[in-house]
Amino acid sequence: MSTEPFRISEGSALHADDPDPLRQYWYTADDLVDTFGYRREALEGLFGEATPGPGGLVGWTTSVVWKIESEVIVPAVELLESSFRDQESIDLTVYRSSAG
């Protein structure tokens, strides 16, 4: 991962109507699972431990999520998509590497 400081990401439009203006800078586990399709059991492995946020919610800042997505997840997906012919080939490689 890069050693650049966290990029302060713009707030998410997901909670633009929330009366607390800081809410737009936070994602909860439910946000990441229900809106973006992440697996709940993968969240801490991807984004670290959830932390307290505004209004008593617990989750991750939009900056943390953006940083991990842009520096880890998207490059990994792009590498897979550019390296393999199709999803079946990716699945076979994952299976072969985990079978040993």
Distances (CA, A) of 31 to 25, 84, 95: 12, 31, 30
Q: What predicted TM-score, i.e. pTM, was given to this entire model?
A: 0.77
Residues of the chain scoring pLDDT < 70: 1-11, 100
Domain range for 75 is 13-98
What is the structure's pLDDT at 47? Answer: 97
What is the structure's pLDDT at 1? Answer: 45
Count structural domains, the chain: 1
What is the structure's pLDDT at 59? Answer: 97
Residue 32 lies inside a defined structural domain of this protein: yes
Residue 1 lies inside a defined structural domain of this protein: no
Residue 6 lies inside a defined structural domain of this protein: no
What is the structure's pLDDT at 13? Answer: 80
What is the structure's pLDDT at 100? Answer: 58
Residue 66 lies inside a defined structural domain of this protein: yes
Residue 5 lies inside a defined structural domain of this protein: no
Instruction: Specify the CATH number for the domain of residue 81.
Output: 1.10.1660
Residue 57 lies inside a defined structural domain of this protein: yes
What is the structure's pLDDT at 11? Answer: 67
Residue 3 lies inside a defined structural domain of this protein: no
